[in-house]
Each structure stands twice: as structure tokens, then as C-alpha cells.
A = this chain, B = another copy of it.
Amino acid sequence: MKLGMYGLGRMGGNMAVRLARHGHEVVLLNRTRAVSDKIHAEAPKSAVVDDLEALVAALPSPKVIWVMLPSGDVTEKAIETLGNMLSKGDIVIDGGNTCYKDDVRRAKILHAKGIHYVDVGTSGGVWGLERGYCMMYGGNQEAVDHIDPILESLAPGIGDIPRTKNRGSNLNPRAEKGYLHCGPAGSGHFVKMVHNGIEYGMMQAYAEGFDIMRMKGSDRLPEEQRFDLNMADIAEVWRRGSVIPSWLLDLCADALAVDGDLSKFQGDVADTGEGRWTIEAAIEEAVPAPVITAALFTRFRSRSGNTYAEKMLSAMRFGFGGHVEKK
């Protein structure tokens, strides 16, 4: 299939290459021409264009354009512009980290013009080129059917992962290949958002566990109560036969094998929106989500020095007990 790929950063560039390797013709557009040229060299049968007009002109109808830009204003602007350039039956795909509420809004606007909007939540990070991308997408049936060949090429496929027991024929066979039509526009990014929320919680669970084990050897405890544990070996042993193996644990083991002290990591942990939106969704639904929330708050706290809240605690303690707190 011939399609346009707009945005060739770490994600978009690798996806274009993977698509080209699977025989698709990818028309490449990036803010910086040099990046397009670099991807072009790796992507058979690809072409490079310099602006949106040229991108649209290069594609047969129905035109398919995959937008893979930083979420927020940049993507918003791109979708809006494309909405004014495309025609009935064309398909715009947003593969970035958009909030699902924006998808719902955009799809409605584009729908009025007969343009299809497909939101694709994409997981896989820097590993996707080789492993494939797990994709959760939303949009109408006609549009997602049309782009199925692209999605299948990007997806990891069934691979050597054991099949789920009792999985019946009533379930969607694409899910086993690592891509899934979740529902109408917005539902793809919604499921991807929850995926990230779960990711936050799992990461925090491991992080707490390793912290508790490491501090068991610290002078916060009387010497006779300490254990001096080897974090790298523990991460490793859990990878085989325990209840908690996972890809995230593999990554812990990788990092700890290099340096059990993790001394090159500072620990100011970023967050990219999905965790916040997951909690917002939980609150809208009145669903308790204490673990995902605690994981997000830990990240917030990690990025600042002592907070105003903590100073207020000290102020109260000074008020009732004359306590003066110093490091």
C-alpha cells in the first residue's frame, strides 16, 4: 500500500522503515529534510517530499496519511491542516500520544467532511523496528479495514509467544498478532492510555521492591538486622519461574547487571500525560485507582526538592511541639 508518513522522529522513522521492508511504498515528510533522506536510504521504494501539499499530491485516493508527530499543538495543527486538504474517503491516522478526548473531537469534525480519522495507540518504543509495534486503534470499520495491511506489517505478529488457553474463535484473531481494533475513534488511544497507566503501576511496584531490598542493607537499620543483597542477581533469579517475570523486569535486570547502584540515573522521573489522563478517566468513572495514582505522584515528587506541603508539615510540628526540622 502507498501511504504518507508525516513525522520521522524515533518512532515515525522506524515505522516507515519497517513498512518499507514489508513492501509498502512510503512517502516521507519531515520538518528537517536531512532526516527524511536518512530514512529514505533505509526504506526501499520510499519517496521524499518537502511539504504537506506535495505529500497529499503524491498519494492515490483514498489517500492514507500517518501522522507521527509530538502530541499536543504540533499534531493538532497538522490534523487541522490535513482536514482542509483531504477529501471524502481519505484517511488520517494519528499514531502519536494524543489524549483520546482530542480524538473524539477531531473525528467528529473530520467526519462532517467525510474524512476518516483513525487513532492508533502505539507501544514498542525504541525496540519496535525489530520487535514490531503493539497497536490499539479506534475508528470506523471501513477505514480500519482499508489500512489493515499497514497495521499487520507494523505489528509484531504471533511470534513464539504461547497461545492463550481457551481463546475461542469469537475473539478477534488480530489481537494475537499484536494489533486490535478497539472501537470508534478515541478508543485506541484510550486503551493505550490505560496501558501506560498500568505500566506506571508495574514500574512503581518493582521500584518499591528493589528500594526495600536495597535499604535492608543501609544504616537506617541496626547492623544485626541488615542484609546486604545483590540487586542484579535478584532481578535475574526472578526472571525464571517466579510469579513476576515481565519485560519490565528484564529491563531492570539489564540495568542492574551494568551497575547495581544505578548511579548514572538521577531519578527525576518524567511523565508524558497518559498517567494523568488515566486517573482523570478513573475519577470520571468513580473507579478507585490508588496504585496508578501513587505511581504518578511518586514521579511528581521525584522532580522537586522539598515541597511547600512538607514545609507546612514542619511549620505545624513547630507550632504544636516546638520541633525544629533539619536535614
Contact = CB atoms under 8 A, between A and B. Distances in A.
Nearest to A321: B125
Interface in A272-327: 276, 278-303, 306-323, 325-327
A314 B172 CA distance: 25
B285 A216 contact: yes
A212 interface: yes
Given A125-B322, A205-B292, A244 B136 contact: no
21 contacts: A134-B237, A155-B241, A164-B236, A167-B257, A177-B240, A179-B237, A183-B227, A191-B213, A201-B204, A204-B205, A208-B291, A210-B309, A215-B286, A225-B284, A246-B249, A266-B311, A269-B325, A280-B283, A288-B298, A289-B297, A302-B313
A208 to B, nearest CB: 5
Contacts of A313: 203-204, 207, 267, 269, 298-299, 302
A323 to B, nearest CB: 7
A191 B268 contact: no
Given A166-B258, A266-B314, 15 more contacts: A161-B245, A164-B235, A171-B233, A172-B233, A182-B230, A195-B243, A202-B206, A203-B312, A205-B295, A267-B311, A269-B310, A269-B325, A287-B307, A291-B291, A293-B297
Contact of A210 (B174, B203, B236, B308): B308
A86 to B, nearest CB: 25
Interface residues of A, number: 156
A6 interface: no
A175 B236 contact: yes
B164 A254 contact: yes
Contacts of A310: 207, 267-269, 298, 302
Given A203-B316, A281-B212, A288-B300, A325 B268 contact: yes
A287 B212 contact: yes
B320 A208 contact: no
A201 B208 contact: yes
A77 interface: no
A90 interface: no
B240 A155 contact: yes
A196 B238 CA distance: 11
A281 B218 CA distance: 12
Contacts of A283: 276, 279-280, 296
B279 A238 contact: no
A176 interface: yes
Nearest to A282: B212
B205 A309 contact: no
- Top 5 A-B pairs ranked by shortest CB distance? A201-B205, A246-B246, A267-B306, A251-B319, A267-B310
A253 interface: yes
A242 interface: yes
A134 B242 contact: yes
